[in-house]
């Protein structure tokens, strides 16, 4: 699918990986809607890029549906990218106490249920599109994590939520294949996002040094480059692509 002239929406597009995708899509000629819970940042980026902004919690059915409808008002919605997510670190059980249920439920609700919520509304909108010149109605990209495969000590909630995103990728692609809609997931490793920006520089360097090659944190624009390729490469469907510099996370 060509990005030039396409209509796209990016959930979680106000910062980090999502903001990089937003900038890349606009640079490549897409019309864009940014959906995010961070209203101030989202409005600023939307103004910078000439995009539309919607304040959205991905777990809220009505708001996700409304954001997709807003995007579709600008033309057939062809591209949906979901980067929204949260993190939490705690062991299942330890001398410090048992893992509370609420944060586990919250991570699954935002990272997995929220991703599905976006997927179902975006795909429903895409069903109404006429196929483009390549015979496609739309492309949906989701964000997992290598923690889905290599979850570390204390990452049980995060790994479970991202593992669910990995697990639904193929059946979603199969569900939508006859309607000419592709579904793929990117599983990034250690990336230089706001989550890691709060760490001391020494800690950031140590994390990057764990990566076999290149021995550094990933840049958000590298994620965006892969997202753009996934959109444009018609044979990529039902895939989960690790973007991690050959990193396999150790237990801790």
Q: How many domains does the chain have?
A: 1
Q: Evaluate whether residue 212 is within a structural domain.
A: no
What does the pLDDT read at residue 195? 75
Give the tens place of pLDDT for each residue, 127-155: 999 999 999 999 999 999 999 999 999 99
20 assigned to some structural domain? yes
The enclosing domain of 111 has a CATH number of 3.40.50.720
Predicted pLDDT of residue 196: 78
CA distance 183 to 142: 8
Please identify which of the residues 158, 180, 191, 223 carries the catalytic annotation. Answer: 158
Supply the pLDDT for residue 204.
81
Residue 51 maps to a domain? yes
Q: How far is CA 57 from CA 192, 237, 238, in A?
A: 23, 27, 26
Q: Structure tokens of 222?
A: 């590298």
**Residue 70: domain span:** 7-193+219-243
Residues (pLDDT < 50) of the chain are: none
* 251 part of a folded domain: no
**Would you call 158 a catalytic residue per the annotation?**
yes
Domain assignment present for residue 77? The answer is: yes
What pLDDT is stored for residue 130 in this prediction?
97
Return all residues near 113 (Cβ < 8 A) that are at least 6 apart. Answer: 59
What does the pLDDT read at residue 242?
98
Return the pLDDT at 24: 98
C-beta separation of 15 from 41 below 8 A: yes
The answer as to whether 211 is a domain residue is no
Let me know if residue 252 belongs to a domain.
no
The pLDDT, as a whole number, for residue 175 is 98
Model's pTM, two decimal places? 0.96
Say what the pLDDT of residue 90 is: 92
In a domain, 56, yes or no: yes
Cβ-based burial of 85 (10 A; exposed 0-12, middle 13-18, buried ≥19): buried
């Amino acid at each position: 699918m060509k990005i030039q002239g396409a209509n796209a929406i990016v959930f979680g597009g106000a910062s980090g990986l999502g903001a990089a995708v937003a900038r890349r899509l606009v640079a490549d000629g897409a019309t864009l809607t940014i959906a995010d819970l961070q209203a101030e940042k989202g409005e600023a980026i939307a103004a910078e890029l000439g995009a539309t902004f919607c304040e959205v919690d991905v777990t809220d059915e009505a708001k996700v549906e409304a954001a997709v409808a807003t995007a579709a008002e600008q033309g057939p919605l062809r591209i949906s990218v979901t980067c929204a997510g949260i993190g939490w670190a705690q062991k299942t059980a330890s001398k410090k106490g048992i893992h509370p249920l609420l944060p586990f439920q919250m991570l699954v609700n935002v990272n997995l249920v929220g991703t599905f919520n976006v997927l179902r509304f975006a795909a429903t909108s895409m069903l109404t599109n006429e196929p483009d010149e390549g015979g496609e109605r739309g492309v949906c990209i989701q964000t997992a994590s290598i923690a889905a495969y290599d979850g570390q000590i204390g990452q049980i909630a995060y790994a479970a939520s991202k593992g669910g995103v990995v697990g639904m990728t193929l059946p979603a692609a199969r569900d939508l294949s006859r309607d000419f809609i592709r579904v793929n997931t990117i599983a990034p490793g250690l990336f230089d996002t706001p989550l890691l920006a709060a760490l001391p520089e020494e800690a950031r360097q140590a994390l990057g040094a764990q990566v076999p090659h290149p021995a550094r944190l990933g840049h958000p624009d590298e994620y965006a480059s892969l997202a753009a390729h996934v959109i444009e490469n018609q044979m990529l469907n039902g895939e989960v692509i690790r973007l991690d510099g050959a990193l396999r996370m150790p237990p801790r």
